[in-house]
Every structure is written in C-alpha cells, then in structure tokens.
Structure 1
C-alpha cells in the first residue's frame, strides 16, 4: 500500500514532459558478446561468470540458472560491470520469446568480472541522452521487442540481424531527470517483486521440509513432531514405502475411499458454457486452475456422470500428461464432470481425512510410487487399476491426520498470500510501464528542473 500511495503522489506532482523519437543508433553504442567453444567452459573456481542466452527471462530480466563459467580468450573491453545492460540477439526457438529481451548484469559476489556470450549484445547509452536504467525498462515494452523480432530470422531458432539494431526506433523523454524518475519508480516495484519472489522461494523450501517431516515422523497429540528415528528407533517401523511411525500403516486408496470414479475414455463435447469439464490442465500443484476450463452441455454431462457425479470436496487425479497431479474440486464448481485421463477419489471420512489425503497424495513417497508405475517418463501414464490400488500412508488417528493437514494448509496459505501479492505487483508494474514509458502520463520533475535552472 505505501508503494501505491507514493506512485499516486508522483502522478499528481508531475506536469507535462516532452519526448522525442530517436533510433538506437542515436542513443547508444553496441558490443556483441564473445564467440566461444565448449572447451572454453570452466568450473566456478577458475572461470569467469559467463552470461548465456538461458540467463534471460522472457520479456526481460535475469535468471541465474543459465550462468556458465568461461576460461577462454577475452579482451579488456569484453568484461562487464554490475549494472551493464545486455539484450538477447538469439532465441531458444522461433517463437521470439527471448530475442530482444534485456537484462541488467547482476553483482556476482566475486572479484571476477562477468563476460557475455555471443548470444548477447551490450548496449551502452550516451549518458547525456538516455539513462541506462530507463532504457532497461523501455526495452521490456512490446513495441521495442516487436522491432527486434521483426529483424530476426531463422529456420529453427531466431537470430537478430545485429546490423539493423541501430535503426530500431525508440521514443524517450528529452529530460534525463524525467527518465531517471520513471526508472526509479519502476525499479522500486522490481525490487518489491524480487523480495516477494525470494519470500515465496523461502516458504516453498519450508513447506518441502515440513512435508518430509510430517510424512515420516507425524505429529504427537501435543502438536509436536515425533523424535527422529535416530533419537527414538522404537517409535518407527520399516515398510515397503520406507520408515514410518509404528501407529501408522500402509494401505490402498481403494480401502479408504467411498468411491473411485474413472472418466469415460474421451472428453465430452465442448460448448461455450454449461457444465465445467475437469481436464489435466485444470489440476496443478495441488490447486484447481480455472484457466483453460471448458464446458459441456447438459446431456453430455448426464452421460459423462453416469458412473458418478463429482461433487465439491472430491479429489481428482491425473493419469497422464502429467501423472499424479491432484486437487480438491472447489465449491464454485458443484456440477462438473471428468475429462479424459482423469479419475476421482471420494475419501471415506471414517478412515481418512480429505485434506490429509490430498497432501499424502502429493508426498514424496506416493509421488515416487506413481513415477515408478508410470515408467518415469514425463509423458507416462498409469492404468485405472494403478490409481484405484495406489498405496496410501495412513495414520490410525484421524486427529493426527487433521493436525498434519492443518500444518500444511497453514504453509499453503502463506504461499498463496505472497503469490497473490506478487500477482498484484506484476499487474501494477505492467500498468505503470504502459503509462510512464510511452508518455501516456506526461511527466516532468519540477524540483529537479528548478535545480537545473539554478545551476545554469
């Protein structure tokens, strides 16, 4: 909320600003990255951080998973500084998702300066014409990237014709102070986004550790985890699924469910509206995803629910592409049917708590079992009987099951809160980019302008 108030204050305090249209060649110099061979790669101890095409995020930004280390030839002008601006001159496919995307060189925390591969180009704006941080934000706009894609070609992947880069058109404020103010606002949102992403990653790691502990040690009546097996081996038993508490058992899903329903062998006819059809794209990471939800007519719904109609609270599971994704049918879809490659569990609450059952299906032990029976392939599949008689970890105490479910729901609520906040930040950033980087909201920085006049 403070961020939003600050942005509103800026909008009201700014007046009109002037923009001019130039070309990249007018505002900057360029240098392509290093041509390299695979034998130039080294380990992190001996090599220099080497930015590759896989370091670019679609649309703009840096991701560390693409970083390599380079120990080949480089000239003094090849080395990068923190904050230098690069853009991709190659794509990973012909889709044009990466080509033209910018990134700012991060601080690598070493005394070795980074280098860039030949799939990157450095752009050094003239300081009296264009602020580097503003240019980074501007290059993320679709109008600039469309020109990059238009100047790219290739049969399998796109390659930007770098001779045409200087002719790419770009509109910028005449005032460097205005550019810097715009960049400052957008950078502050980027910082908030990065912090939120880091918090989400932290919570995901905490949840992963919690899942491991809860499904190997369980919860005592006082709400604490049991001592580890090393601390109290007498509390545990070895089973075909691994070590579990002595009060637990390994059973089958068919023995703890009131009903298990398979879909028909195809998806029903699709209509613009009607009854929701639950398909594999609607089940991801333990959640029901409304995006890409399709519908069918009343008669098809009747036919496709002849074996049993799904109801809110039932748990659906995918049998293919991918195997083992699960979620609970939400209350907002009271009359849905199953699409192809879907099955449904209706837990018997005498034996197993529904929330516990959902999380147990996502546990490493059960997912490993599914991976084994599906053949371990990303496009593998499991049979109806495999889902029906899938192993299940079952604490004898319903109260313990509920405590485990409560712990994991609490972790998920924290994650959902941060993900929702992240989504709002990203939407805010998109809106501000369209307003501030196009001149739609004209700006000047009157205080800075007055200072400039005083020093003239």
Structure 2
C-alpha cells in the first residue's frame, strides 16, 4: 500500500476531450453519431439502426485534429453522468455528452475503467457536476477527479479480478435473457394452443382448424371453456370504503405496486406502515393464503404478484385480491399475463389521468380454462422456467454484491493483491 498514490485524472492522461458541440446534418447512410445513451451499463458502446448518422465529410472534419482510439475511457458527462466504457475503436463520432480520457503510461486502460465504476469516483463526479436543468460536467472539473493508483502490476491484477466478475455477470444476464425468451414463447404457445395428452403443443389452427373453437375472446383449443374470473376465484377489494389507513412507523408493511419488484417478488420492507387494526380488517376480508394473487387495477393495470407468505401486511386499494377456488393458482397466475387477459384488462380500462379498472370489471374477465390435467402441465412448464429465472437473478444479485465488496477492498488497497495468485473464479450459473 506504501506504493499507492492518489492522483488526479489530468496527471494520468494525455488527453481529456469531449464530442462535437456543433450541429451536423443527418444522412441516411454514413457514420453513427453517438451520445451518452449509447454508453451502456456493461461498459460497452451500444447502438443500432435508430441512431443518427452523419456524412463522411463531417466525420473527417470532426476527427481531423483528435479522434478517440481503442482503449480510451468513455464517460458520460451530460444528463446521466458517470456511465463509462472502454472504447473499442469503432468508426463512430460522438456528441458533447461523451468525454474521452486517454491514459498515459502511468495507468492501464482496463484499470482506469474499473476505477471509474467505483462509488468513490461516482461521488466525486456528483460533487463536481454543474447542476442545472440538465446536469453536466465541465472537462476542467473532470480532470480534477482523482483515482487510487497502485503499481502497474497490481493495476493489471485488480483489473483482471474485477473483469472476471464482470464476465460472470454478463453470462448470468445472458442466461436470464435466454429464459425470458423461452417464457415469452411459452406464453404465446401454451395459452393459444395448449398441449395434447402426449405433452406436445397442438398444431397451429391454420394446420388443424378442427382442434380449435371461436369464442368471445378469439380462438381457443376445443375442449377448453371460457370462465368468468369470479366463477373460478374470489375477487376481493381489500378496502372497499377507500378510506385512508392509519399509518404508524412501527406498524405493518403497506403494499402497493411500488413494492412489486423484480423476479416476481414483493418488497415487504416498505416505507409506509400501518396499524394492526387495518391488517386485521383486511385479513378477515381477504382470507389471504399462499395462493392469493395481488392484481393492480389502478395506475399500472394488470401487474400481478403472489402475495407474501409468513408475514402480516395490508394492501393499498389500487390492488385487489384474487383467491383461486376451482382453478390451479399457478395456471391462473400465468394466464393473467397472457395476451388474451391483458387485452381484456386494457379494453376495460377507464380514466386517463389515473387509468383504472373497477372490481366488477376484474370479476368479468374471461379466463380460457383447460381441464385440470392440462392446467397442471402448463403450470409445470411455466414454473420450471420461472424457477430458472429466479435462480439466475439471485445469482446475478449475489455477483453484483461481490463486485461491490471487491471494489471496496481492491481499489482502496484494504486487501493486498497477490501478484502470483490466479484470480478467483466466479460462479455464473
């Protein structure tokens, strides 16, 4: 640690520049003109056909005196401040919302990138920002940002360790994306075609029209029935009086769609908490079970979660409770996300400032319902994919927490880096 120094960017860089401040004519075929939105959270540039293009002559003029090169640190300095990436040398131009920091021989680009992702670096950026209608950071202020600077061998080792966990996170994200695609495919196929006794989906209606029937909500497999939601489940307003609850800081969780978080979880550490009287009243009215589903009928229509088990809570009246009776809870949960149910919810929505669906209209939703054995097969297919998504999401969260801890330890010198030791492997699934 004695060899570590803290240095400003201006002392470990040869150039600190930003993109063009000028206005350039957009063309149909040319060079991508990128901005802060193209600096992705994975430390890479991301762009597509929707991005603006400028002419070859404008590009030549912009890069005649200075052009970013591979290895430069890209940093967003207007609007969303502080996202960073290592430039890959692509033939692109940048607007002024992106700055470039070119490393001197004193610092490795891979280490500088990891240092720019630290909480300490972000805090310094925030302090030096010009906070106006649109936040911005002057290059002179950027040059004053400091980083911890160990010897280059240690820089390389630290960057290697942190990059390895970045790679594990990317692999996990790719797995989650893959499972999400599988889920989307299942959502389409299983709720439009269902499954045959052999476990295979029915052929499409175009190939086997005799296997399908036309209904009020469109074509569904023959043998399925349309059931009103209130025929297969109790739909309950947790607070029919709509009176304001009594809040208490030491009370019980008060849940709305704000608490509907990723991986189909419900956050129970809520900022708003209510007295036990409200909880008891809703428990009597709603008869919560592990199969109870919360359905959003105000604001964001149709968002759903299974409600928490093993903890007492109350619900905002923007949610209603669906307690399955004669239908598989898991099948109903997934069907509420199908196209045919979400279309019905959308068509029933009233109001513009605050979109909402009445309890009566929620009860009127028509649920395509196969027999119990087909319901179980469909729910098992979905549950397997959802379990895989939850597992990988938990793994991603764990990896991100590991990286935060490693950055705190390695970029401060709190934990000494062993130069002769191979980097730790990180689980990616």
Deviation at 1:100, TM superposition (A): 2.7
Helix, strand or coil at the partner of 1:254:
helix
Helix, strand or coil at the partner of 2:336:
helix
Which digits, 9 at most, give the CA deviation of each residue in 1:62-116, with x for residues without a partner? 462687242141224554444431001111xxxxxx3133112357xxxx61222
Which digits, 9 at most, give the CA deviation of each residue in 1:367-399, with x for residues without a partner? 12212222596952212212121221212x111
> Is residue 79 of structure 2 the alignment partner of residue 101 of structure 1?
no
> Is residue 286 of structure 2 the alignment partner of residue 308 of structure 1?
yes
Helix, strand or coil at the partner of 1:170:
strand
Q: CA separation in 2, counterparts of 1:382 and 1:106? A: 49
Which digits, 9 at most, give the CA deviation of each residue in 1:107-157, with x for residues without a partner? 7xxxx6122221001100102x00111001101112222222222224311
> Is residue 218 of structure 2 the alignment partner of residue 232 of structure 1?
no
> Is residue 179 of structure 2 the alignment partner of residue 203 of structure 1?
yes
Correspondence 1:357-376 to 2 at 5 A: 357-374=332-349
Is the Cα–Cα contact under 8 Å of residues 319 and 381 in structure 1 kept in the other structure? yes
Instruction: Provide the alpha-carbon RMSD of the alignment.
Output: 2.6
Q: CA separation in 1, counterparts of 2:275 and 2:148? A: 51
The alpha-carbon distance between structure 1 residues 319 and 231, as it changes in their structure 2 partners (threshold 3 A), is: same
- Structure 1 stretches of 5 or more lacking a match? 1-15, 92-97, 449-456
Q: CA separation in 1, counterparts of 2:402 and 2:11? A: 31
The alpha-carbon distance between structure 1 residues 114 and 223, as it changes in their structure 2 partners (threshold 3 A), is: same
> Counterpart of 2:361?
386
Deviation at 1:439, TM superposition (A): 1.4
The alpha-carbon distance between structure 1 residues 359 and 446, as it changes in their structure 2 partners (threshold 3 A), is: closer
Q: CA separation in 2, counterparts of 1:310 and 1:329? A: 8
Correspondence 1:49-448 to 2 at 5 A: 49-57=32-40, 61-62=43-44, 64=46, 68-72=51-55, 73-74=58-59, 75-76=63-64, 78-91=66-79, 98-106=80-88, 113-127=91-105, 129-173=106-150, 175-258=151-234, 260-264=236-240, 265-266=242-243, 268-284=245-261, 287-293=264-270, 294-305=272-283, 307-333=285-311, 335-349=312-326, 352-374=327-349, 379-395=354-370, 397-443=371-417, 445=419
Deviation at 1:228, TM superposition (A): 1.2
The alpha-carbon distance between structure 1 residues 286 and 103, as it changes in their structure 2 partners (threshold 3 A), is: closer
Deviation at 1:257, TM superposition (A): 1.4
The alignment covers a number of residue pairs equal to 413
The alpha-carbon distance between structure 1 residues 234 and 447, as it changes in their structure 2 partners (threshold 3 A), is: closer
Helix, strand or coil at the partner of 1:365:
helix
Q: CA separation in 2, counterparts of 1:267 and 1:382? A: 20
The alpha-carbon distance between structure 1 residues 83 and 403, as it changes in their structure 2 partners (threshold 3 A), is: farther
The alpha-carbon distance between structure 1 residues 165 and 412, as it changes in their structure 2 partners (threshold 3 A), is: same
TM-score using structure 2 length = 0.88
Q: CA separation in 2, counterparts of 1:185 and 1:439? A: 14
> Counterpart of 1:30?
16
The alpha-carbon distance between structure 1 residues 370 and 39, as it changes in their structure 2 partners (threshold 3 A), is: farther
Deviation at 1:405, TM superposition (A): 0.7
Which digits, 9 at most, give the CA deviation of each residue in 1:139-198, with x for residues without a partner? 11122222222222243110112222222222211x111101100110111111111111
TM-score using structure 1 length = 0.83
Q: CA separation in 2, counterparts of 1:320 and 1:140? A: 38
Deviation at 1:420, TM superposition (A): 1.1
The alpha-carbon distance between structure 1 residues 363 and 284, as it changes in their structure 2 partners (threshold 3 A), is: farther
> Counterpart of 1:454?
none
- Structure 2 stretches of 5 or more lacking a match? 423-429
Is the Cα–Cα contact under 8 Å of residues 237 and 359 in structure 2 kept in the other structure? no
Q: CA separation in 2, counterparts of 1:415 and 1:447? A: 34
Helix, strand or coil at the partner of 1:238:
strand
The alpha-carbon distance between structure 1 residues 424 and 288, as it changes in their structure 2 partners (threshold 3 A), is: closer
Helix, strand or coil at the partner of 2:219:
strand
> Counterpart of 2:426?
none
Is the Cα–Cα contact under 8 Å of residues 335 and 341 in structure 2 kept in the other structure? yes
Is the Cα–Cα contact under 8 Å of residues 275 and 297 in structure 1 kept in the other structure? yes
Correspondence 1:30-49 to 2 at 5 A: 30-37=16-23, 39-40=25-26, 42-43=27-28, 46-49=29-32
Is the Cα–Cα contact under 8 Å of residues 78 and 115 in structure 1 kept in the other structure? no
